[in-house]
Structure 1
Amino acid sequence: MGWVARAPGLPHLEPEATALLDRLTPMSAPAGMVLFHPGDTVKGFVIMLSGRVEVYLTGTSGRELLLYAIEPGQSCVQSTLGLMGGDDYSGEAVTRAPSELVLVPRETFLRLMDLSDNFRHFVFAAFAQRLQSMMHLLDRVAFQRIETRLARGLLDRAENGTLRATHAEIAVMIGSAREVVSRRLDALARRGIVALERGVVHIVDPDTLTEIAQSIE
């Protein structure tokens, strides 16, 4: 049995489409591996089998913004745009956990789009879902208060009430500057909502933090 049968989110495909994909060999990538840089040519469509990849955009000021994360069953919108429109990558992709993925070369991808209704539907559905998440990101960065974005970021990323990340990494997550995040975290700590250690944020009062996360202008 090939890898297609265990690929999360991939629909049941026609035999010819399955055979085309199963000829490809999954690759393993350790945490911290850069998969592509801005300006690189898009070489294929990524199918995640396990792990997590994060895609960042770097502004002219050098500040980074986390555009989206790719987990099993999800797609990379930059890869899809590049394959269908010919654009190069504008962001940088980094594995944040040990990952297993399959790179579907451009020629195979385009053949599958013509050959398989199910594969084509999978690509467009994943693409639409990713665009929707990008619209939510734009809304958060453009219109939500920094306190709201910070509170939501802490709640979304914390595991068992603890987030292990530097202030600079949190700033990238929510699309802000490290200095701004540091000031807001210090303010939350003074109110007893969080407790800070070097590289660690402990959520002490999740109810109040949730109220802040749900607040609107």
Structure 2
Amino acid sequence: MTAADWIEHFPPLAALGQEHRDAVLASAHPVRLPAEMRVFDPGSPCSQFLLVVDGCVRVQMIADTGRELVLYRVRRGETCVLTTSCLFGGEVYPAEGIVETETRAVAIPLARFLALIAASEGFRRFVFAGFGQRLAALLATVQDTVFHNLDGRLARALIARAGGGPVALTHQALAAEIGTAREVVSRHLKQFEKAGLVRLARGRIEIADPDRLALRAARTE
């Protein structure tokens, strides 16, 4: 993967002046991350700034009880807010990152990242814009998990993952998406099925009544 292959996915970087654009290109090295690879773990140090060119990395937290909560996903043209935070604060990761689909990315080592932050206003704006946008989305996830009705959260998760076909997620994976226990998701899905909203089958969930499910998704209380 050459510089031309990746930098156009990040327009603010592609638009930098020649000196700083060349500095970014010289600092970044391409990486290929296979599906299911663990990119970072809770407590691990952060040593590089990762820009996702193609693919998807899921960032999630796991409680002592084993319950999972998906915080967000990093996709094409995006960066990871936890990585940025850890780089600036010199902190370790508080969550884990798992590659969902094979991912191409470029990595900028910590020392070069900090040098670019100091030298380039355009690079600083790019980093802080991505940080602000992702932080806002993360806060929305927390708000949804803490304050909103579970039926609505489950319905929204099903609609978001359906894509016009069946949802190929386990009950455990859905529980991680909305921040609850697998048993709770299974119970609510049974209620959805009884109400005629979905049809349950092994390894997939079919949406039987998308209009009524959308009404359920609109509920927040």
* TM-score, shorter chain, exceeding 0.5: yes
Correspondence list, 1:161-200, <5 A: 161-200=165-204
C-alpha contact (below 8 Å) 2:12/2:122 kept by paired residues: no
Figure out how many residues of one structure are paired with residues of the other and give that number. 217
Q: Which residue of 1 aligns with 2:16?
A: 13
CA deviation map 1:67-101 (0-9, x unaligned): 11001122211111111011100111011111101
* 2:98 paired with 1:69: no
C-alpha contact (below 8 Å) 2:29/2:108 kept by paired residues: no
CA drift at 1:29? 1.1
* 2:136 paired with 1:132: yes
Measure, in 2, the Cα distance between the counterparts of 1:10 and 1:92: 28
Q: Which residue of 1 aligns with 2:3?
A: 2
Q: Which residue of 2 aligns with 1:34?
A: 38
CA drift at 1:10? 4.1
Where do 4+ consecutive residues of structure 1 move more than 3 Å?
Answer: 8-11
* 2:95 paired with 1:91: yes
TM-score normalised per structure 2:
0.94
CA drift at 1:16? 2.3
Q: Which residue of 2 aligns with 1:54?
A: 58
Q: Name which of structure 1's ranges 142-151 and 68-77 shifts more when overlaid on structure 2.
A: 68-77
CA drift at 1:191? 1.4
Which residue of 200, 209, 212 corresponds with 2:213?
Answer: 209
Which residue of 106, 117, 124 corresponds with 1:120?
Answer: 124
Q: Which residue of 2 aligns with 1:105?
A: 109
The code of the aligned residue for 1:132 comes to A
SS at match of 1:163: coil
List runs of 5+ in structure 1 lacking aligned partners: none
Measure, in 2, the Cα distance between the counterparts of 1:170 and 1:10: 35
SS at match of 2:167: strand
C-alpha contact (below 8 Å) 1:167/1:182 kept by paired residues: yes
C-alpha contact (below 8 Å) 2:32/2:105 kept by paired residues: yes
Q: Name which of structure 1's ranges 164-173 and 196-205 shifts more when overlaid on structure 2.
A: 196-205
C-alpha contact (below 8 Å) 2:58/2:70 kept by paired residues: yes
CA drift at 1:9? 4.7
List runs of 5+ in structure 2 lacking aligned partners: none
